[in-house]
Amino acid sequence: MLDRVFTIVAGRIAALAGQPVAFIVAVLLIVAWGLTGPVFGFSDTWQLIVNTSTTIVTFLMVFLIQNSQNRDAAALQAKLDELIRAVEGARNEFIGIEHRSDTEIEAIRAAIEVEVRDDAEAHPAATVDRLRNRY
Protein backbone atom coordinates (compact mmCIF):
# COMPACT_ATOMS: atom_id res chain seq x y z
CA MET A 1 0.00 0.00 0.00
CA LEU A 2 2.71 2.49 1.02
CA ASP A 3 4.80 1.47 -1.97
CA ARG A 4 1.90 2.14 -4.35
CA VAL A 5 1.11 5.53 -2.78
CA PHE A 6 4.77 6.55 -2.92
CA THR A 7 4.99 5.47 -6.56
CA ILE A 8 1.96 7.58 -7.48
CA VAL A 9 3.11 10.63 -5.51
CA ALA A 10 6.72 10.36 -6.72
CA GLY A 11 5.59 9.96 -10.31
CA ARG A 12 3.34 12.99 -10.19
CA ILE A 13 5.91 15.19 -8.46
CA ALA A 14 8.63 14.08 -10.89
CA ALA A 15 6.33 14.83 -13.83
CA LEU A 16 5.52 18.27 -12.44
CA ALA A 17 9.13 19.07 -11.55
CA GLY A 18 10.21 18.22 -15.09
CA GLN A 19 7.91 20.80 -16.68
CA PRO A 20 9.17 24.17 -17.92
CA VAL A 21 6.64 25.87 -15.65
CA ALA A 22 8.35 24.37 -12.59
CA PHE A 23 11.66 25.87 -13.68
CA ILE A 24 10.04 29.25 -14.25
CA VAL A 25 8.40 29.13 -10.81
CA ALA A 26 11.77 28.24 -9.21
CA VAL A 27 13.48 31.14 -10.99
CA LEU A 28 10.71 33.52 -9.94
CA LEU A 29 10.99 32.37 -6.33
CA ILE A 30 14.74 33.01 -6.35
CA VAL A 31 14.24 36.42 -7.98
CA ALA A 32 11.56 37.30 -5.39
CA TRP A 33 13.89 36.16 -2.61
CA GLY A 34 16.70 38.29 -4.06
CA LEU A 35 14.46 41.33 -4.36
CA THR A 36 13.44 41.04 -0.70
CA GLY A 37 17.09 41.21 0.37
CA PRO A 38 17.14 44.98 0.88
CA VAL A 39 13.85 44.82 2.81
CA PHE A 40 15.38 42.38 5.30
CA GLY A 41 18.80 43.99 5.25
CA PHE A 42 20.39 40.92 3.68
CA SER A 43 20.27 39.41 7.16
CA ASP A 44 21.45 35.96 8.18
CA THR A 45 17.82 34.86 8.54
CA TRP A 46 17.08 36.06 4.99
CA GLN A 47 20.00 34.00 3.67
CA LEU A 48 19.07 31.02 5.83
CA ILE A 49 15.59 30.89 4.28
CA VAL A 50 16.88 30.22 0.76
CA ASN A 51 19.68 27.94 1.94
CA THR A 52 17.35 25.79 4.02
CA SER A 53 14.60 25.75 1.38
CA THR A 54 16.88 24.72 -1.45
CA THR A 55 18.61 22.09 0.68
CA ILE A 56 15.29 20.50 1.67
CA VAL A 57 13.96 20.53 -1.90
CA THR A 58 17.22 19.07 -3.24
CA PHE A 59 17.30 16.37 -0.56
CA LEU A 60 13.74 15.26 -1.30
CA MET A 61 14.16 15.46 -5.08
CA VAL A 62 17.15 13.09 -4.94
CA PHE A 63 14.87 10.35 -3.60
CA LEU A 64 12.14 11.08 -6.12
CA ILE A 65 14.57 11.07 -9.04
CA GLN A 66 16.19 7.84 -7.85
CA ASN A 67 12.77 6.22 -7.49
CA SER A 68 11.78 7.29 -11.01
CA GLN A 69 15.06 6.04 -12.47
CA ASN A 70 14.80 2.69 -10.67
CA ARG A 71 11.23 2.22 -11.91
CA ASP A 72 12.12 3.21 -15.46
CA ALA A 73 15.16 0.94 -15.52
CA ALA A 74 13.19 -2.02 -14.17
CA ALA A 75 10.43 -1.48 -16.75
CA LEU A 76 12.98 -1.19 -19.55
CA GLN A 77 14.71 -4.39 -18.43
CA ALA A 78 11.38 -6.22 -18.36
CA LYS A 79 10.61 -5.03 -21.89
CA LEU A 80 14.04 -6.04 -23.15
CA ASP A 81 13.73 -9.44 -21.47
CA GLU A 82 10.39 -9.95 -23.21
CA LEU A 83 11.92 -9.04 -26.56
CA ILE A 84 14.78 -11.48 -26.00
CA ARG A 85 12.29 -14.17 -25.05
CA ALA A 86 10.07 -13.51 -28.06
CA VAL A 87 12.67 -13.12 -30.81
CA GLU A 88 13.69 -16.35 -32.48
CA GLY A 89 17.44 -16.83 -32.33
CA ALA A 90 17.91 -14.46 -29.40
CA ARG A 91 19.92 -15.89 -26.53
CA ASN A 92 17.75 -16.31 -23.45
CA GLU A 93 20.81 -16.37 -21.19
CA PHE A 94 20.89 -12.57 -21.52
CA ILE A 95 17.64 -12.29 -19.62
CA GLY A 96 18.38 -10.94 -16.15
CA ILE A 97 22.05 -10.12 -16.67
CA GLU A 98 21.45 -6.75 -15.02
CA HIS A 99 21.60 -8.66 -11.71
CA ARG A 100 25.19 -9.73 -12.31
CA SER A 101 28.26 -7.87 -11.06
CA ASP A 102 29.84 -5.04 -13.01
CA THR A 103 32.82 -7.26 -13.80
CA GLU A 104 30.61 -10.03 -15.19
CA ILE A 105 28.59 -7.60 -17.29
CA GLU A 106 31.76 -6.02 -18.67
CA ALA A 107 33.10 -9.47 -19.59
CA ILE A 108 29.82 -10.33 -21.36
CA ARG A 109 29.87 -7.02 -23.23
CA ALA A 110 33.48 -7.50 -24.31
CA ALA A 111 32.74 -11.05 -25.50
CA ILE A 112 29.76 -9.83 -27.53
CA GLU A 113 31.85 -7.09 -29.13
CA VAL A 114 34.50 -9.63 -30.13
CA GLU A 115 31.80 -11.96 -31.48
CA VAL A 116 30.15 -9.19 -33.48
CA ARG A 117 33.49 -7.95 -34.80
CA ASP A 118 34.48 -11.48 -35.85
CA ASP A 119 31.09 -12.05 -37.52
CA ALA A 120 31.26 -8.72 -39.32
CA GLU A 121 34.76 -9.43 -40.61
CA ALA A 122 33.83 -12.94 -41.77
CA HIS A 123 30.46 -11.99 -43.25
CA PRO A 124 30.19 -8.21 -43.68
CA ALA A 125 26.58 -8.24 -44.91
CA ALA A 126 25.39 -11.15 -42.75
CA THR A 127 23.91 -9.02 -39.99
CA VAL A 128 21.94 -6.84 -42.39
CA ASP A 129 20.82 -9.88 -44.40
CA ARG A 130 19.70 -11.66 -41.24
CA LEU A 131 17.62 -8.64 -40.23
CA ARG A 132 16.13 -8.32 -43.72
CA ASN A 133 15.18 -12.00 -43.75
CA ARG A 134 13.22 -11.62 -40.51
CA TYR A 135 10.77 -9.32 -42.22
Centroid of chain to Cα 67: 9
**Within this chain, do residues 82 and 16 fall inside the same structural domain, yes or no?**
yes
**Within this chain, do residues 70 and 9 fall inside the same structural domain, yes or no?**
yes
Task: Identify the pLDDT of residue 121.
Answer: 73
Q: What angle do CA 38, 43, 46 make, to 5 degrees?
A: 85
Domain that residue 114 falls in: 100-135
Domain count, the chain: 2
**Within this chain, do residues 92 and 116 fall inside the same structural domain, yes or no?**
no
**Within this chain, do residues 57 and 20 fall inside the same structural domain, yes or no?**
yes
- DSSP letter for 100, please: S
**Within this chain, do residues 89 and 112 fall inside the same structural domain, yes or no?**
no
Task: Identify the pLDDT of residue 115.
Answer: 87
**pLDDT tens, residue order, the chain (135 aa):** 888 898 888 889 989 998 999 999 999 999 999 999 999 999 999 999 999 999 999 999 999 989 889 999 999 999 999 999 999 888 999 999 999 999 999 999 999 888 888 777 777 666 666 667 766
Phi-psi region of 42 (alpha: psi -120 to 50; beta: other; left: phi over 0): left
**Within this chain, do residues 55 and 111 fall inside the same structural domain, yes or no?**
no
**Within this chain, do residues 112 and 87 fall inside the same structural domain, yes or no?**
no
**Within this chain, do residues 125 and 67 fall inside the same structural domain, yes or no?**
no
Model-level pTM?
0.66
**Within this chain, do residues 110 and 94 fall inside the same structural domain, yes or no?**
no
**Within this chain, do residues 50 and 87 fall inside the same structural domain, yes or no?**
yes
**Within this chain, do residues 69 and 128 fall inside the same structural domain, yes or no?**
no
